C-alpha cells in the first residue's frame, strides 16, 4: 500500500485549477460524518490510504458474489477495484495523500464496502443482493447511509421490480439511500433505471462548474433525468459531476505513469533528462523525449497530463454522476452527525428545501437544484 510519506512535493497546475469539493460547495462546518457509517455498493474496492490512515475506517468488506470478506482482501489492486475506490474516497477520504487537500466532506465517517459485480458487469439482481446484505447488517455496523453509484440493466416500474422494492425497503428501515442518476442525458430517452428510479431514494444528477464555481461558467452535466417509467421526476438534486479529484489505483501502471508525469512537471529543466533516464520504460512516449530540449519535453508532459487527466502523482480528475452521488452521501453523513435523530424522509426534504436552482437550466434536468452542505447542516441542527 502507498504510504503518506510518498506524497508529492508540490502542487501541480491541475491541482491549482481543481478546487476541493468543500471550496466548491462550501463545507459543513465542524461536522465530518463522525459516528456515521456509509455503505457503498460497487464493482470492487481497494483499501486506499485516504480511508486507512492514520486509522482504519473500513469496518467491513464483503463480496456478495463469492462470499469473500475482510479488509485484508483489499490490499492488492485489481481492474475491478478502481470505481468503488474512487466513489468511497470522494465521499469519505481524508486526503492523506494530498496533505488533506482532496478530502471528502465525510472525512471521519466509517465505511462498509460491498462488492456486487466486476469491471465488465454489474447485474440488476446482484445490486439487490447487495442491498439485502446491507439491510441484514445495518444494525451491526450502524449503517445510516447507502451510496449506489451503479444502475440496473433496464427500466422497470417500482411496483414490481425487485431491485426497486429493495431500495424502498432500505429507506423504510431507516437508511438514507443515495443513487447516481446515470450519464445518459444526451440520449433521446435519457432513462433513469433502478434503483435511482425508486420514489424514496435521493437521486443525484450532475452540474459542471469547471472545477471552480468562481469562474462563473456553470452548466448542466449530461446526467439522466425523468420522467421515469412510473412518471416520477428524477433527479431530486444535483452536485458537481466533473473536474472532481479522485485517487489513482496504487500499484498500477496508470499510477506509476502519473507519478512520473508529476515528477517531470515539478522538475527543473536540468533535472528532466536524469529523471527520464532513471524511469526509462515507464512510458514509451516519454522514452522518445530523451535527449530533447527541455521545452519539447515539457510540451509532451503537458499533453500527457491533459490527456490522462492527471492532477498529481496520486490523483486524477474524473467525471460522472457516479461521483456526484457520493458527494451528496457525504453531506447526508454530516447532517446525521449534526442530528442523529433525522429520518430518511426528513434528510431528503432538507436537501431539497436548501438546494439552489440554476436559473438557466431546465427544472427537469436539475430537480430542486445544487446541494448546499452548509445550509443543509444548519437546517438539520434545527
Residue range 155-171, pLDDT digits in tens: 999 999 999 999 999 99
Residue 36 lies inside a defined structural domain of this protein: yes
Residue range 62-75, pLDDT digits in tens: 999 999 999 999 99
Residue 336 lies inside a defined structural domain of this protein: yes
CA distance 38 to 312: 28
Residues 157 and 290 reside in one and the same domain: no
The pLDDT of residue 245 is above 90: yes
The pLDDT of residue 10 is above 50: no
The full DSSP string for 283-350 is: -HHHHTTTTS-HHHHHHHHHHHHHHTTB-SSSEEEE-SHHHHHHHHHHHHHHHHHH-TT--HHHHHHH
CA distance 16 to 42: 30
The pLDDT of residue 8 is above 60: no
φ/ψ (deg, to 5) at 357? -75, 145
**pLDDT grade for 29, boundaries at 50, 70 and 90:** confident
Residue 73 lies inside a defined structural domain of this protein: yes
Can you read off the three cell numbers belonging to residue 265? 512537471
- Mean pLDDT over each residue of the chain, to the nearest integer: 93
- What was the pLDDT predicted at 4? 38
Query: What residues contact residue 277 under an 8 Å CB cut-off, 6+ apart?
Result: 290
Residues 184 and 61 reside in one and the same domain: yes
Residues 124 and 155 reside in one and the same domain: yes
Residues 263 and 362 reside in one and the same domain: no
Q: Are strands 244-247 and 315-318 parallel, antiparallel or unpaired?
A: antiparallel
Number of residues assigned to the chain: 382
Residues 286 and 163 reside in one and the same domain: no
Residues 106 and 220 reside in one and the same domain: yes
Task: Give me the mean pLDDT over the 137-142 stretch.
Answer: 98
Beta strand residue intervals within 27-182, DSSP E: 37-42, 58-63, 110-115, 143-148, 176-180
**pLDDT grade for 347, boundaries at 50, 70 and 90:** very high
- What was the pLDDT predicted at 28? 78
- What was the pLDDT predicted at 226? 95
- What was the pLDDT predicted at 97? 95
Residues 243 and 257 reside in one and the same domain: no
Look at the block and give the residue holding cell 433496464: 154
Residue 62 lies inside a defined structural domain of this protein: yes
- What was the pLDDT predicted at 5? 36
**101 close to 15: Cβ distance less than 8 angstroms:** yes
- CATH number for position 82: 3.40.50.200
CA distance 162 to 321: 23
φ/ψ (deg, to 5) at 316? -130, 170
Could you tell me what percent of the chain has a pLDDT over 90? 88
**305 close to 265: Cβ distance less than 8 angstroms:** yes
Residues 266 and 197 reside in one and the same domain: no
- CA R_g for the chain: 21
**pLDDT grade for 6, boundaries at 50, 70 and 90:** very low
**117 close to 43: Cβ distance less than 8 angstroms:** yes
Residue 80 lies inside a defined structural domain of this protein: yes
Q: Is the pTM of this model over 0.85?
A: yes
Task: Give me the mean pLDDT over the 207-226 stretch.
Answer: 91
Residue 244: strand pairing partners: 318
Look at the block and give the residue holding cell 469519505: 92
Domain count, the chain: 2
Task: Give me the mean pLDDT over the 34-55 stretch.
Answer: 97
**pLDDT grade for 3, boundaries at 50, 70 and 90:** very low
Residue 16 lies inside a defined structural domain of this protein: no
- What was the pLDDT predicted at 195? 98
Cα 152 from chain centroid (whole Å) = 18
Can you read off the three cell numbers belonging to residue 230? 412510473
Residue range(s) defining the domain that contains residue 221? 21-248+318-381
CA distance 148 to 347: 17
Residue 9 lies inside a defined structural domain of this protein: no
- What was the pLDDT predicted at 15? 65
Helix (H) or strand (E) holding 173: none
Q: How far does the chain reach from its first CA to its final CA, in angstroms?
A: 42
**Residue 206: exposed, middle, or buried by beta-carbon count in 10 A (0-12, 13-18, 19+)?**
buried
117 against 8, higher pLDDT: 117
Residues 126 and 165 reside in one and the same domain: yes
Can you read off the three cell numbers belonging to residue 214? 468562481
Residue 10 lies inside a defined structural domain of this protein: no
- What was the pLDDT predicted at 13? 61
CA distance 132 to 239: 28
Residues 193 and 291 reside in one and the same domain: no
Select from 279, 307, 335 the last residue of a domain: 307
CA angle 311, 313, 318 (to 5 degrees): 40
- What was the pLDDT predicted at 12? 57
CA distance 84 to 148: 10
**pLDDT grade for 9, boundaries at 50, 70 and 90:** very low
Task: Give me the mean pLDDT over the 20-32 stretch.
Answer: 91
Cα 321 from chain centroid (whole Å) = 8
- What was the pLDDT predicted at 14? 62
Residues 261 and 218 reside in one and the same domain: no
Residues 290 and 219 reside in one and the same domain: no
Helix (H) or strand (E) holding 3: none
Residue range 81-121, pLDDT digits in tens: 999 999 999 999 999 999 999 999 999 999 999 999 998 88
Amino acid at each position: 500500500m502507498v504510504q503518506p510519506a510518498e506524497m508529492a512535493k508540490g502542487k501541480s497546475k491541475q491541482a491549482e485549477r481543481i478546487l476541493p469539493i468543500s471550496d466548491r460547495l462550501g463545507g459543513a462546518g465542524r461536522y465530518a460524518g463522525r459516528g456515521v457509517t456509509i455503505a457503498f455498493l460497487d464493482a470492487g474496492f481497494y483499501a486506499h490510504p485516504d480511508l486507512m490512515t492514520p486509522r482504519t475506517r473500513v469496518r467491513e468488506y464483503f463480496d456478495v458474489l463469492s462470499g469473500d470478506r475482510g479488509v485484508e482482501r483489499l490490499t492488492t489492486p485489481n481492474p475491478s477495484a478502481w470505481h468503488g475506490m474512487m466513489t468511497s474516497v470522494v465521499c469519505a477520504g481524508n486526503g492523506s495523500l494530498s496533505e488533506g487537500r482532496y478530502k471528502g466532506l465525510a472525512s471521519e465517517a466509517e465505511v462498509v464496502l460491498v462488492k456486487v459485480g466486476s469491471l465488465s458487469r454489474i447485474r440488476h439482481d446482484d445490486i439487490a443482493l447487495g442491498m439485502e446484505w446491507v439491510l441484514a447488517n445495518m444494525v451491526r455496523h450502524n449503517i445510516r447511509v447507502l451510496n449506489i453509484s451503479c444502475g440496473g440493466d433496464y427500466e422497470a416500474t417500482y411496483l414490481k421490480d425487485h431491485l426497486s422494492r429493495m431500495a424502498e425497503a432500505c429507506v423504510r428501515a431507516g437508511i438514507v439511500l443515495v443513487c447516481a442518476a446515470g450519464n445518459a442525458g444526451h440520449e433521446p430517452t435519457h432513462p433513469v433505471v433502478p434503483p435511482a428510479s425508486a420514489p424514496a431514494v435521493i437521486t443525484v444528477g450532475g452540474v459542471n462548474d469547471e472545477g471552480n464555481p468562481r469562474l462563473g461558467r456553470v452548466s448542466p452535466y449530461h446526467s439522466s433525468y425523468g420522467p421515469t417509467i412510473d412518471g416520477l421526476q428524477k433527479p431530486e438534486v444535483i452536485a458537481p459531476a466533473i473536474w472532481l479529484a479522485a485517487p489513482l489505483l496504487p500499484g498500477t501502471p496508470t499510477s506509476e505513469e502519473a507519478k512520473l508525469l508529476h515528477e517531470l512537471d515539478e522538475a527543473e529543466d536540468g533535472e528532466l533528462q536524469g529523471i527520464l533516464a532513471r524511469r526509462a520504460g515507464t512510458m514509451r512516449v516519454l522514452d522518445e523525449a530523451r535527449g530533447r530540449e527541455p521545452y519539447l519535453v515539457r510540451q509532451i508532459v503537458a499533453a500527457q497530463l491533459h490527456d490522462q487527466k492527471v492532477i498529481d502523482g496520486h490523483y486524477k480528475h474524473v467525471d460522472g454522476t457516479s461521483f456526484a452521488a457520493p458527494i451528496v452521501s457525504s453531506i447526508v453523513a454530516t447532517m446525521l452527525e449534526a442530528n442523529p435523530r433525522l429520518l430518511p424522509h426528513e434528510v431528503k426534504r432538507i436537501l431539497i428545501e436548501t438546494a439552489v436552482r440554476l436559473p438557466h437550466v431546465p427544472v427537469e434536468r436539475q430537480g430542486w437544484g445544487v446541494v448546499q452542505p452548509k445550509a443543509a447542516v444548519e437546517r438539520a441542527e434545527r
